[in-house]
Every structure is written in structure tokens, then in C-alpha cells.
Amino acid sequence: MNFKQQVTAQIADAESGDSEEYRGQDWWQLMPEEELVFDIDFRRFPRSITAFMAFESFHDIVPPRIINSTRLLWLQSANGAPIS
């Protein structure tokens, strides 16, 4: 299973569970005040926090030079610039 498949499976698992576990005061949980002030759609929160946690895991194991060069390639392609 590749990284994308793992993240997709984790997101599906998060969305199928009890979304109320994502409410609270821990760093990865959402308080009602945050939902209101930042206009966060709570229905999408399990997906968002799961994707963020996967990104953080990936980010911690990939050297910065690879992340930076990949980011540059993505920006060039998004702007229609030729990729060298």
C-alpha cells in the first residue's frame, strides 16, 4: 500500500467513526469557539485533521531538500511555467 492509499484509508476510517471524538480541548480537537470564530465546517474536520497528521508524519521523514524541490516543481506546473 503506498502513502496515498494509506492516507485515503485513514481518512475513510476517520469519517466512518464517531465524529464527536474530534470535539474537545486537545490540540487535534475542535472547540465550539474555534468552530464559530474560524468558520470551520465540523463535518470536514475529521478529514482535515487526518490529512494534516499524515502530512506531519510524511514531513518528518522526508529531507527538506526533497520537499523544497517538489514544492518548486508543483508551483511551476501550477503557474504554467516550464519545468526544468
Per-residue model confidence as pLDDT tens digits over 61-80: 777 787 778 777 877 776 66
pLDDT in tens, 34-60: 999 999 888 888 888 888 888 888 777
* Residue spans of alpha helices (H) in the chain: 3-16, 32-37, 45-61, 64-78
Closest CA to 14 of 33, 29, 26, 3: 29
Banded pLDDT at 84 (limits 50, 70, 90): low
Inside any domain, residue 83: no
Inside any domain, residue 27: yes
Inside any domain, residue 45: yes
Q: What is the tally of structural domains in the chain?
A: 1
Supply the range of the domain harboring residue 50: 3-78
